Structure 1
Amino acid sequence: MKIAKASLVSPDHNFWYGSFAVAISTFILAYSARFGQVSVLAYYGLWLPLILVDYRHSLGNYTRFYWIIAFGVFACLSVFWSAAPGVTARAGVQYLSHIVCALIAARTVNVRTMALGMLAGVIFVLLYSLAFGGYHYDPLDGDYSFVGAFASKNQLGFFASLGIYFAFACIFVLGERGFARLLALFGGCLSGYALIASQSATSIIATAATLVVMIGLSVTVLFAPRTRKTLFALGIVLVLGLVFVGLNLGGMAMVLGAFGKDATLTGRTYLWAEGIAAGWESPVVGAGYYAYWVQGFSEAERLWEEFYIGSRSGFHFHNTYIELFVELGFIGLLLAGLVIVRVWLGYLLRLLHGHDVMRSHLLFGVAFMLLVRSFFEVDVMHPYAIGSFLLYYSAGLLAASKPARDLAFPAAQPVSHLRVRHAR
């Protein structure tokens, strides 16, 4: 039996394979640490063979992606000054190959296929956690939290946030009907339950902020591009005003208190200070990718002990930019920051100018959620992580000179995005 290439690599004809590959990738990236090397090989098996099917379409002209892969290349090069060169070499190759997989996905999977695949994948992830997960006692919070099949409530909360977001996007941005809408409703309810059970303040705040912004943009895109820019500027002024008033009236303390946090964010401000101090020891190029949290290194051992990390692994500074500064210095911070900011700003500008409205609307929400979380979590600088996969998928689509069509099935488009053709 001969399989048509288009059913594997064409964004307009590979809905079933693309959604399957994204769903399985989501599950693997959630539990790769749990299932080990076999799951990682399966992840590569979903994307890298597409190069053999049609290498020109799967890879394209990678010179357009120089700003996307620069950070991954620099992470690999840090092996030459790394404090733990063996760890850096392995992690750097893993991260760079992970970027390649995400860029292949960007070349071969359109945004509707990705959204539905992500939603299905998150549902599988959460069902697995509910079936086989458990609770974990946090000595810093002094409370038990449901962590599912993860090692951290924040990871469970992140996937629950993604489930809520993509359920919202499928209904209100893509305008799905029928079975896809039922899937979105089920996924949204399941994710909402998991988010509450996780008690992850970061995830709850990031989800709420993203949904508020997305709803505001849903109204904004109904107007002409010039009006959109004015409304967006007014919205920024309003938000900044509310933040200023809230801070002066003790709003921050009230928000933190609602989640059982104190002014130190349960020790994070101390951890941030320690990270900044560590970064200044090698401010230009850092200690090397993955070369700080290494067993046997005195500073890592000290922080693991202070924060009750018995496993002596899987810990970070709970801030993407501080983590970047420590591991790869100002150069790494600049290269990674370029990707994060350019993706967020790129889709915002496309949305305000009326270019690829549906795709820009959906992927701006993804970029916004990752941006909010970047100040409290490290989602985008590790290999085999769903945050970095989504970031580089979004960057790959943004870098495309001729963006692929957003939808495989035009009937799924909401009315607000349709062009009405008048009869002559």
Structure 2
Amino acid sequence: MRGVAMAGRPAGQAGIDWPIWWTTFLSLTGYNIAVGISPVLTAMFLLCWSLYFLAWPTRNLDRLLLAPLPFALPLFALASTLWSQATAVTLRNAIELLLVTGIGVLIARAQRLRGFLSAFMCMMLVSVVVGAATGRRAAVGVHGDMALIGIFGSKNYFALMISMMMLSAAAVLADMWQPRLLRLLGLFGLVIGPPLLVMAKSLGAMLTLFLALGCLGLFALAGRLSHRLRPALYILAALLVLAMVATFLLLQDSGVFEMLLRSAGKDTSLTGRTFLWSRADGLIPLHPLLGVGYQAFWVQESVEAEGLWRFSDIISRFGFHFHNLYYETAIELGYVGVVILGTTLAAVTVAALIAVIRRPCPEHAFLVSATAIFLSRAYVELDFLSPFSIGSLLLPIFWSYGVQAVAETRRLGRRPVWQADMRPGEQPMPIPAR
């Protein structure tokens, strides 16, 4: 690192605000590993960013008011207290989701994307290493194979952590403006990631990570090409994606895909998910417009919840979900909630795409690739609806950075040609020696 900044000021060519970087790294680390270690770390996360807000209340309040879209879903969740089947549960969880959303916006507004990206990578690296060090495993698949689950209690969630670590590490390593030490840590993350992902035994995570790294590499390469050559690269990439989709559909129709699942020891019902989805189809019409209330379905003494817990052998009668973002949202918040969440996800995706196409660089490519990973999981997992999940925190962060990137690339587009190739937020400077 090229020296420490004065409080609140970027240091060195990387333009990283080191006090904010350390605050982000430490608080996010506590937030992410709290689920497997202690809820006290979550309280520390909330306290840390509450103090940051109180230090500059007027400026931070303005930042929050300039970011209305991420608050649409939390506010609707809070409003669902009025018709919730479990009022106290809905109120508590909605307030928590609202707080997490506000902190996400503050994190994004407090620093440049480059600084957040490297802090996020280091946080993921610590989370994965701590999780792997525990050595906790669980039986998975029809053959009872043992998969590494770390401190997160789920192989799929642990695989998500590994995937996000590797994706952010690749983006940091590809960015020549990142400090050398952080790029070396990125290389370390890329080295330890593959064997850990194999031990987690998540084929879905392997596939989505492969595609996300390809997306990141595509836009990183596009950033090194002239404007005239970029369209040809994008066309070739689109044709490759279409070919992959066509191949997948052919394998699925011919039964080869199902055979591969069975040979890999995977349950073709996706570990009971198809039954959960069929029950969701029957439950949604009972409260179609507004749902039963935020987080108000999976509560004890609820007949449907108790039955599904018994079916899935959830002895604790606590937690669980329908393993599908849209089914869960429709049941809790109705079709109105699905529209609000869908609009938010679409806005995040469009902003990231516009930013990376206008100015392809590792940071913008990470936004697109990470968003793609989470969207691909929406069919079988729940990342954006629960308070204190990593997805619920990243959604407002990604939206804020996407919007900022679009605004900055628009300003850069009006600069003279010799400045137009600079990345958003950078000043003219010589390329640092490798």
TM-score between the two structures when normalised by the length of structure 1:
0.87
Deviations 1:299-347 (A, max 9, x none): 1121122122222223111111111111111111111111112111211
Q: Is the 8 Å Cα contact of residues 225 and 353 (structure 1) preserved in structure 2?
A: no
Tell me if 1:328 matches 2:338.
Answer: no
What is the Cα deviation at residue 73 of structure 1? 0.3
Q: What are the within-5 Å matches in structure 2 for residues 356-375 of structure 1?
A: 357-375=361-379
Supply the distance in 2 between the matched residues of 1:116 and 1:183 (Cα, whole angstroms). Answer: 9
Number of aligned positions between the proteins: 410
Task: Look up the equivalent residue of 2:184 and give its one-letter code.
Answer: L
Letter of the aligned partner of 2:368 in structure 1?
F
Measured after TM superposition, the shift of residue 256 of structure 1 is 3.0
CA distance in 1, matches of 2:100, 2:430: 31
* Structure 1 residue 414: Cα displacement: 9.0
- What is aligned with 1:316? 321
Larger CA deviation: 213-222 vs 403-412 = 403-412
TM-superposed deviation, 1:119: 1.6
Counterpart of 2:395 in structure 1 is: 391
CA offset at residue 393 of structure 1? 0.5
Q: Secondary structure at the match of 1:347?
A: helix
Shift of residue 99 of structure 1? 0.3
Question: Which of 188, 191, 204 is residue 189 of structure 1 equivalent to?
Answer: 191
Deviation at 1:36? 4.1
Shift of the 139–353 alpha-carbon distance from structure 1 to 2, 3 Å rule, reads closer
Superposed CA offset, 1:261-281 (max 9, x none): 243223222222222322222
1:204-228 CA-to-partner distances (Å, cap 9, x unmatched) read 2221121122222233344455754
Q: 1:313 to 1:191 in 2, by over 3 A?
A: farther
Quick check: 2:83–2:292 contact (8 Å CA) kept in 1? yes
In structure 1, which of residues 274, 281, 287 is the aligned counterpart of residue 279 of structure 2? 274
Cα distance in 1, alignment partners of residues 156 and 138 from structure 2:
12
Please say which of residues 160-169 and 121-130 is displaced more in the overlay: 121-130
Q: Return 391-400 or 169-178, whichever deviates more.
A: 169-178
* 2:385 maps to 1:381: yes
- Structure 1 CA distance for aligned equivalents of residues 357 and 334 of structure 2: 34
Contact kept? 2:114, 2:178, Cα under 8 Å: no
- In the other structure, the counterpart of 1:213 is 215
CA contact (8 A) 2:37 2:151 kept: no
Task: Report the Cα offset of residue 111 of structure 1.
Answer: 1.4
Match of 1:285 among 285, 290, 315: 290
Letter in structure 1 aligned against 2:379: F
C-alpha separation between the residues in 1 aligned to 2:173 and 2:296?
Answer: 43
Query: Match of 2:416?
Result: none
Of residues 38-47 and 138-147 in structure 1, the stretch that sits farther from structure 2 once superposed is 138-147
User: 1:422 maps to which residue?
Assistant: none
Q: Flag the 1:231–1:189 CA change in 2: closer, same or farther, 3 A.
A: closer
- Given that 2:97 and 2:392 are in contact with CA atoms closer than 8 Å, whether structure 1 keeps it comes out as no
Taking structure 1 as reference, are residues 177 and 108 closer, same or farther at Cα in structure 2, changes over 3 Å only?
A: closer
Instruction: Work out the CA distance in 2 between the residues paired with 1:140 and 1:59.
Output: 52
Whole-angstrom CA distance in 2 between matches of 1:168 and 1:206: 15
Deviation at 1:92, TM superposition (A): 0.2
Q: Which one-letter code corresponds to 2:110 in the other structure?
A: T
Q: How big is the shift at 1:108?
A: 0.3
What amino acid maps onto 1:324 in structure 2? T
Equivalent of 2:261, from 244, 256, 259?
256
Matched residue SS, 1:6: coil
Q: Cα distance 1:170–1:319, how it changes in 2: closer, same or farther (>3 A)?
A: same
- Aligned match of 1:88: 90
Deviates more, 1:372-381 or 1:129-138: 129-138
Report the equivalent of 2:418: none
Which has the higher relative contact order, 1 or 2, with Cα contacts under 8 A spaced 6 or more apart? 1
Q: Look up the match of 2:100.
A: 98
Q: Which residue of 2 aligns with 1:59?
A: 61
Identity of aligned residues (%): 26
Superimposed CA distance per residue, residues 44-79 of structure 1 (whole angstroms, 9 cap, x where no aligned partner): 122221222223443334443222211110011111
SS of residue matched to 2:148: strand
Counterpart of 2:123 in structure 1: which amino acid?
A: G
Residue 309 of structure 2 is matched in structure 1 by 304
CA distance in 1, matches of 2:430, 2:365: 16
- Counterparts in 2 of 1:232 and 1:253: CA distance versus 1, 3 Å: farther
2:412 is matched with which residue?
Answer: none
| 1:355-389 per-position Cα deviation (integer Å, ceiling 9, x unaligned) | x7454222112211111122221111111121221
- CA shift digits 1:111-130 (9 cap, x unpaired): 12112111211222122222
| Larger CA deviation: 95-104 vs 179-188 | 179-188
Quick one: distance in 2 between partners of 1:292 and 1:321? 14
Q: Does structure 1 retain, via aligned residues, the 8 Å contact 2:172–2:183?
A: yes
Q: How far did 1:133 drift?
A: 4.2
Correspondence list, 1:39-50, <5 A? 39-50=41-52
Bigger mean CA offset, 210-219 vs 318-327? 210-219
Distance change in 2, residues 1:127/1:61 (3 Å): closer
Gaps of 5+ in 1: 416-424
Change over 3 Å in CA distance of 1:257–1:18 after alignment to 2: farther
Judged with a 3 Å threshold, the aligned counterparts in structure 2 of structure 1 residues 55 and 295 are, in CA distance, closer, same or farther, namely same
Counterpart code for 2:139: Y
1-side partners of 2:338 and 2:143: how far apart? 30
Of 61-70 and 254-263, the range deviating more from structure 2? 254-263
Contact residue 276 and residue 325 of structure 1 kept, 8 A: no
**Aligned partners of 1:383, 1:412: CA distance in 2, in Å?**
44
SS of the equivalent of 1:48 reads helix
Q: Does 1:202 align with 2:204?
A: yes
Kindly provide the amino acid, as one letter, of the partner of residue 135 in structure 1: R
Rate the CA distance shift 1:229–1:309 in 2: closer, same or farther, 3 A: farther
